């Protein structure tokens, strides 16, 4: 089974996470709300790929079905992409970082409502490593609002952060929709990454907007990093979440 983890501070340099100066949540310099073809905060998505991701970019494909989304494969580690990195199967090679961007309706300028990244890691999952990971989450996205654990998966956690840049009343309404303490069945916990957004909306509420980090230890090692930025309200321009 593929195990999903968050990088420690020492291993987080390749994939960048941030609340930008504009107040927007970002992964790999790409902000939530970024339009497919229009400008946002003085930048275009194509320009971000060309100027900030080009050295790491192995493949990138725009798919229009079932909804507009871009699947990208990024090199992990030092050095620019070479022909050796771009061999057949690179887009499914677990040693590379996989990133997906999902876009809203044409009427909404096809803005990004979901960013998902997954990349391999190799770091100790001891108490110090976990503390550094949690510190990185907070410095990147804000203070966690809920941390979900599973008794059958000691050391693992799903960390949920409501977008700290939202107006106070909107943020409070989203937080109020999250049970406290928040728990999941074992099956839901294990399938959280792969579950559809209808199921996510039942857990997080239909207006959730924020960051989600899956932190999983396997044999005392961190093996994969998985993070998401998600706006479920914007997702409803192209998906029925009821």
CA dist list (Å): 52 to 44, 57, 61, 172, 188? 11, 10, 17, 34, 36
Is residue 140 within 8 Å of residue 117, measured between CB atoms?
no
Q: Is 211 helix (H, G, I), strand (E, B) or coil?
A: strand
What pLDDT shows up at residue 18? 63
pLDDT above 50 for 179 = yes
Does residue 143 sit within a domain?
Answer: yes
Does residue 242 sit within a domain?
Answer: no
Mean per-residue pLDDT, 218-235 = 88
Does residue 2 sit within a domain?
Answer: no
Which structure tokens are listed for 45?
């998505």
Does residue 241 sit within a domain?
Answer: no
Does residue 27 sit within a domain?
Answer: yes
pLDDT above 70 for 16 = no
Mean pLDDT (the chain, rounded): 88
Q: Is 240 helix (H, G, I), strand (E, B) or coil?
A: coil
Does residue 1 sit within a domain?
Answer: no
Helix segments in the chain, DSSP class H: 45-48, 127-141, 168-176, 186-190, 197-204, 232-235
pLDDT above 60 for 195 = yes
At residue 8 the predicted structure's pLDDT band, cuts being 50, 70 and 90, is very low
Does residue 4 sit within a domain?
Answer: no
Instruction: Give the whole-angstrom CA distance, residue 16 versus residue 39.
Output: 21
What pLDDT shows up at residue 6? 33
Work out how many domains the chain is built from and give that number.
Answer: 1
Greater confidence (20 vs 168) lies with 168
* Sole residue written with tokens 């494909």: 61
Q: For residue 106, what are the domain limits?
A: 11-235
Does residue 36 sit within a domain?
Answer: yes
- The number of helices, as runs of H, and strands, as runs of E, in the chain is 6, 11
DSSP 84-138: TTTSTTGGG-TTSEEEEEEE--GGGTSBEEEEEEEEEEEEE-SHHHHHHHHHHHH
Mean per-residue pLDDT, 11-35 = 76
- Maximum average pLDDT range among 77-91, 148-162, 195-209, 219-233: 195-209
What pLDDT shows up at residue 5? 33
Instruction: Give the torsion sign (CA, 113, 102, 12, 6).
Output: positive
Which structure tokens are listed for 166?
């939202």
What pLDDT shows up at residue 157? 82
């Amino acid at each position: 089974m593929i195990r999903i983890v968050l990088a420690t501070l020492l291993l987080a340099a390749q994939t960048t996470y941030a609340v930008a100066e504009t107040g927007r949540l970002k992964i790999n310099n790409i902000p939530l709300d970024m339009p497919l073809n229009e400008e946002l905060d003085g930048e275009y998505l194509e320009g971000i790929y060309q100027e900030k991701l080009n050295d790491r970019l192995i493949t990138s494909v725009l798919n229009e079905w079932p909804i507009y989304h871009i699947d990208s494969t990024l090199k992990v580690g030092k050095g620019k992409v070479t022909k050796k990195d771009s061999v057949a199967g690179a887009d499914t090679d677990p040693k590379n970082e996989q990133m997906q961007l999902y876009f809203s309706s044409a009427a909404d300028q096809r803005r990004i409502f979901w960013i998902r990244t997954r990349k391999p890691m190799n770091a100790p999952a001891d108490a110090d490593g976990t503390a550094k990971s949690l510190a990185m989450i907070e410095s990147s996205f804000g203070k966690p609002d809920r941390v979900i654990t599973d008794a059958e998966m000691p050391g693992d956690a799903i960390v949920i952060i409501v977008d700290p840049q939202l107006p106070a009343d909107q943020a409070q309404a989203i937080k109020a929709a999250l049970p406290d303490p928040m728990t999941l069945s074992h099956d839901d916990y294990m399938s959280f990454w792969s579950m559809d957004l209808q199921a996510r909306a039942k857990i997080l509420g239909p207006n959730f907007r924020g960051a989600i980090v899956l932190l999983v230890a396997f044999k005392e090692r961190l093996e994969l990093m998985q993070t998401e930025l998600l706006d479920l309200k914007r997702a409803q321009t192209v998906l029925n979440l009821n």
